[in-house]
Amino acid sequence: MRILLDTHTFLWFIGGDSRLHKEARRRIASLGKLRLRMSVTELVRNQVEGNAIDVLGIKANHLDALARLPFHHRDPFDRLIISQSLAEGIPVLGKDTTFDLYPTQRLWS
């Protein structure tokens, strides 16, 4: 199963944050540890590669979906995640209930 991770979900996962519940942790599959002595680029690269996470690039159909979204959510990065979810048919793993205002599947329990 493919899942889009909201930014906080990724950060909580790699940092071992207790706010990420067991079901979300199970969906991601393995636990990472946050290392603060490296650049953000190195951190993301290491965690993405080390946890077998694929980065979904921005495609033209994602931008088409983004242009059609109503402004329920003002965060431009969350709006992009929502548009990718809709265009790709992939659920989003995140706690932001504003995502529920869009016709996308949000996983969080």
Each residue's pLDDT expressed in tens, for the chain with a length of 109 residues: 788 888 888 888 888 888 988 888 777 744 344 344 667 678 788 889 999 999 999 999 999 999 999 999 889 999 999 999 999 999 999 999 999 999 999 999 7
pLDDT at 38: 66
d(CA 104, CA 84): 10
pLDDT at 16: 82
Cα torsion 5, 94, 78, 46: sign: negative
Q: Provide the whole-model pTM.
A: 0.78
Which H or E run includes 8? helix 7-15
Which H or E run includes 93? strand 92-93
Break the chain into its structural domains and give their ranges: 4-50, 60-96
pLDDT at 72: 94
